[in-house]
Amino acid sequence: MPRFSKAVSSLRSSEIRDLMTLASRPDIISFAGGMPGNDLFPVEAVEELYRRLDIKKKQAAFQYGPTPGLPSLLESLEGFLEKKGLPVKENRLLITTGSQQALNILGKAFIDPGEPVLVENPCFIGALSAFRSYEAELRGVPVDIDGISIEGLRQEISRNEKAKFLYITPYFHNPAGVLYTAERKNQLIATLQGTNIPLIEDDAYGDLYFFEGDQERLKPIKAINPDGINVCYTGSFSKILGPGLRLGWMLVPEKIYAKCELIKQSADACSPSFTQVLADAFIRSGQIYSYVASVRQEYKKRAAAMVAALREHLPSYVQWDEPRGGFYIWLTLPKGTDATRIVTLAIAGGAVFVVGKTFDPAGEQNNALRLSYCNNTPEQIAEGIPIVAQAIRAVCG
């Protein structure tokens, strides 16, 4: 029998990944995966951009590239991030193979086995998996409609063993859909200052806002550039171009960047040159801005369709908030409810979603569920939500 490491022995398959087999069935309406709609990808635009590239750029697309990323993409991406107010010149930018790799690299850079890491509860499953792979002790801090609980954060910070970092997803949170308020971010900054606890700010969905009036709330903490906090900002092309490119990035202080680049060298040497060339061309063409604006409106329509269906079909004891952007709606059920029973019934009826314990750092709290509307038409949403609601009533009454 092979003797595996302790770290790999503790790994478990993501419930979301396991559900993807179900989601591919034609008889199932999936509200499980956070996948962009296939019909929304800018296929023809990217094909035309590639066709117009000169032969040298096409050849470079097939070649190995530098570990930090292709210089041309680093340059164009810097411009894209500077438009968000991010302090690009004061930090270093590293291209990663999806933002999941960025989280994995940061986890490896900071975590020794058994050390505490602060995360939101609920929390993005990809982050939980990455940090668990380095045997972190995950400490969940509750999230409410305004963001992470400051009182809960203070309690964790006051513990004797200092956390290695805090991980948050403030912009259309996965899974809770929350958009942090400006006040809550300022409280978070004040709480972290002087603690020497780095902040990992994951911004995969911030470009997919539904309301122009939310601009102040969308300003990254990294853009605020607070004194006394090492902010590691991560992002991705997955939601604003296509997840198949497998391209993300991290913008981090120089002293952290140096370690992260070495870790990436040992992991994959470089991210795909081919998709880096495509992403660079897409940014330089300016089409990234018009494309994001168009999909933003489409996701707003899909979110509105789900809101309408939930209002019509859900029982009054289910708590939820209307999304202001992103991909998700989080349903909170009566205390003690087992969402696994609900999803079993829903699957039998022809719909699937992800249960709450998947996103609990302790894997226990299960009286919630995540619905995604990003990969469904309004018609599919209207057909699938009554199935979910019927399953909820069957279990909860």
The CATH number for 384's domain is 3.90.1150.10
Question: In whole angstroms, how far apart are CA 2 and each of 7, 95, 181, 193, 196?
Answer: 14, 35, 50, 46, 40
State the Cα–Cα distance between residues 142 and 313, nearest whole angstrom: 28
Same domain membership, residue 270 and residue 145: yes
Say which residue the tokens 């022995």 belong to.
Answer: 9
Q: What is the CATH number of the domain that holds 202?
A: 3.40.640.10
Same domain membership, residue 93 and residue 28: no
Residue 335 token pair: 């205390």
Say what the pLDDT of residue 258 is: 97
Same domain membership, residue 266 and residue 379: no
State the Cα–Cα distance between residues 176 and 331, nearest whole angstrom: 8
Using the predicted structure, report yes or no on whether residue 14 has a pLDDT greater than 70. no
| Percent of residues, the chain, with pLDDT higher than 70 | 96
- In a domain? residue 163: yes
Average pLDDT of 325-331? 98
Q: Which domain holds residue 109?
A: 54-287
Range in 1-10, 178-187, 257-266, 376-385 the model is least confident about: 1-10
- In a domain? residue 49: no
Q: How confident is the model at residue 389 (pLDDT cuts 50, 70, 90)?
A: very high
- In a domain? residue 114: yes
- Rg over alpha carbons for the chain, rounded to the nearest Å, is 21
The DSSP output letter for 76 is H
Same domain membership, residue 134 and residue 82: yes
- In a domain? residue 283: yes
Using the predicted structure, report yes or no on whether residue 300 has a pLDDT greater than 80. yes
The DSSP output letter for 53 is S
Q: Provide the mean pLDDT of the chain.
A: 95
Same domain membership, residue 244 and residue 178: yes
Last residue of a domain, one of 287, 309, 330: 287
- In a domain? residue 178: yes
- In a domain? residue 264: yes
Say what the pLDDT of residue 15 is: 62
Say what the pLDDT of residue 20 is: 63
pTM, two decimal places: 0.95
Same domain membership, residue 225 and residue 163: yes
Range in 9-13, 57-61, 235-239 the model is least confident about: 9-13
Same domain membership, residue 387 and residue 375: yes
Distance between start and end Cα atoms, the chain:
49
Using the predicted structure, report yes or no on whether residue 13 has a pLDDT greater than 90. no
Q: How confident is the model at residue 22 (pLDDT cuts 50, 70, 90)?
A: low
Average pLDDT of 226-237? 98
- In a domain? residue 108: yes
- Alpha helices for the chain (secondary structure H): 6-9, 15-23, 43-52, 55-61, 71-82, 99-110, 125-132, 150-157, 182-192, 215-218, 221-224, 254-267, 273-284, 287-313, 339-349, 378-396
Question: Which residues touch 89 (CB under 8 Å, ≥6 apart)?
Answer: none
Burial class (CB in 10 A: 0-12, 13-18, 19+), 46: buried
Give CA 171 to chain center in angstroms: 9
- In a domain? residue 48: no
DSSP characters over 253-289 = -HHHHHHHHHHHHHHTSS--HHHHHHHHHHHHTTHHH
Using the predicted structure, report yes or no on whether residue 397 has a pLDDT greater than 90. no
Average pLDDT of 48-58? 97
Say what the pLDDT of residue 27 is: 84
State the Cα–Cα distance between residues 397 and 318, nearest whole angstrom: 11
Say what the pLDDT of residue 25 is: 73
Say what the pLDDT of residue 12 is: 64
Asked if the peptide bond before residue 175 counts as cis, ω within 30 degrees of 0, the response is yes
Residue 276 token pair: 């880096």
Say what the pLDDT of residue 5 is: 77
Number of domains in the chain: 2
Last residue of a domain, one of 287, 311, 337: 287
Express each pLDDT in 117-163 by its tens digit.
Answer: 999 999 999 999 999 999 999 999 999 999 999 999 999 999 999 99
Say what the pLDDT of residue 330 is: 98
Burial class (CB in 10 A: 0-12, 13-18, 19+), 79: exposed
Same domain membership, residue 86 and residue 167: yes
Say what the pLDDT of residue 315 is: 97
Torsions phi, psi of 203, nearest 5? -125, 70
Say what the pLDDT of residue 6 is: 74
Same domain membership, residue 341 and residue 327: yes
Using the predicted structure, report yes or no on whether residue 242 has a pLDDT greater than 70. yes
Buried b vs exposed e over 335-371: b needs ≥16 C-beta within 10 Å? eebbbebbbebbbebebbbbbbbbbbbeeebbbbbbb
Same domain membership, residue 157 and residue 81: yes
Same domain membership, residue 111 and residue 20: no
Average pLDDT of 217-235? 97
Last residue of a domain, one of 287, 312, 334: 287
Same domain membership, residue 365 and residue 281: no
Q: How confident is the model at residue 17 (pLDDT cuts 50, 70, 90)?
A: low
Say what the pLDDT of residue 11 is: 64
Cβ atoms of residues 193 and 148 within 8 Å: no
